[in-house]
Structure 1
Amino acid sequence: MPSERASRRRPSRRTWVFVSSGVLVVLLVLGALAFGGVIWPGRVFATGHDVRGVDVSSYQGEIDWDVLAAQDIDFAYIKSTEGSSDVDEFFAANWAGAMSSDLLVGAYHFMSFDSPGETQADNIIANVPADGTLPIAIDVEYYGAYFDAPPSRDQVTSILVPLLDRLEAHYGVTPVLYATAPAYSRYLTDAYAENPIWIRSVVLPPSLDDGRDWTIWQYSHRDRLDGYTGTEYFIDMNVSALTRDELAALAAR
Structure 2
Amino acid sequence: MLGRFCVVFAILGLLVLGAWLYARDWAPSRDEFPTQGVSISSDNGPIEWGTLAAQGADFAYIRAASGGRFRDPAFEANWAAARAAGMRYGASLDFSLCARASDQATGFMTMVPRDNAALPPVIRLGFEPGCHARPGQDAVLSELNTLINLIESHSGTPVVLNVSDDFDMQYGIASGINRTLWLDRNFFPPDSGKRKWVMWTASDMRHIDGIDGPVKWDVMPR
Instruction: Pick the TM interval, shorter chain.
Output: 0.7 to 0.9
Provide the TM-score with structure 1 as the length reference: 0.76
Contact 1:113-1:159 at 8 Å conserved across structures? no
After superposition, give the CA deviation of every residue in 1:108-152 in whole Å (9 maximum; x if it has no partner). 111111111111111111110111520110010012155x87543
Whether 1:235 and 2:221 are equivalent positions in the alignment is no
CA shift for structure 1 position 64: 1.8
Q: Distance in 2 between matches of 1:63 and 1:239?
A: 20
1:103 equivalent in alignment to 2:87? yes
**CA distance change for structure 1 residues 44 and 225 in 2, over 3 Å: closer, same or farther?**
closer
Q: How many residues align?
A: 217
Unaligned runs of 5+ in 2: none
Whether the 8 Å contact between 1:121 and 1:163 is mirrored in structure 2 is yes
**1:205 CA displacement:** 1.1
TM-score in terms of structure 2 length: 0.86
Give the direction of change, closer, same or farther, for the CA distance of 1:185–1:66 in structure 2 (3 Å limit). Answer: same
2:195 corresponds, among 206, 212, 222, to 212
1:138 corresponds in structure 2 to 123
What SS does structure 2 have at the residue aligned with 1:165?
helix
Q: Quick check: 1:168 aligned with 2:152?
A: yes
Amino acid in structure 1 at the alignment position of 2:129: G
Q: Could you list the per-position Cα deviations for residues 148-193 of structure 1 after superposition, in whole angstroms to 9, with x for gaps in the alignment?
A: 8754323321321100011111211001111222222323131322
Query: How many Å separate the matches in 2 of 1:158 and 1:27?
Result: 50
After TM superposition, give the deviation of residue 44 of structure 1 in Å.
6.2
How far apart in 2 are the matches of 1:94 and 1:44?
Answer: 23
In structure 1, stretches of 5+ residues that fail to align are: 1-13, 243-253
Q: Residues of 2 paired with 1:137 and 1:112: CA distance?
A: 14
Residue type of the partner of 1:136? P
Whole-angstrom distance in 2 between the partners of 1:27 and 1:203: 22
Cα distance in 2 for partners of 1:25, 1:150 equals 46
Which whole-Å CA distance do the structure 2 matches of 1:185 and 1:26 have between them? 39
Partner SS for 2:176: coil
Deviation at 1:55, TM superposition (A): 0.7
Find the aligned partners of 1:44 and 1:93 in 2 and give their Cα distance. Answer: 27
Q: Whose radius of gyration is greater, 1 or 2? A: 1
Percent of pairs with identical residues: 28
- Structure 1 counterpart of 2:206, from 223, 231, 245: 223
1: distance between equivalents of 2:217 and 2:113?
24
SS in 2 for 1:166: helix
Given the alignment, which residue of 53, 58, 77 partners 2:37? 53
Equivalent residues of 1:41, 1:203 under 8 A apart: no
**In 2, distance between residues paired with 1:111 and 1:178?**
10
| Paired position in structure 1 for 2:22 | 39
Compared CA separation, residues 160 and 227, structure 1 to 2 (3 A): same
Verify the 8 A CA contact 2:202 2:219 in the aligned structure 1.
yes
Farther-moved stretch of structure 1 (46-55 vs 88-97)? 46-55
2:37 aligned counterpart, secondary structure: strand
Contact in 2 for aligned 1:219/1:237 (Cα 8 Å): yes
Letter in 2 for 1:234: P
Residues 1:68 and 2:18 are matched in the alignment: no
Instruction: After TM superposition, give the deviation of residue 46 of structure 1 in Å.
Output: 5.0
Q: 1:83 to 1:145 in 2, by over 3 A?
A: closer
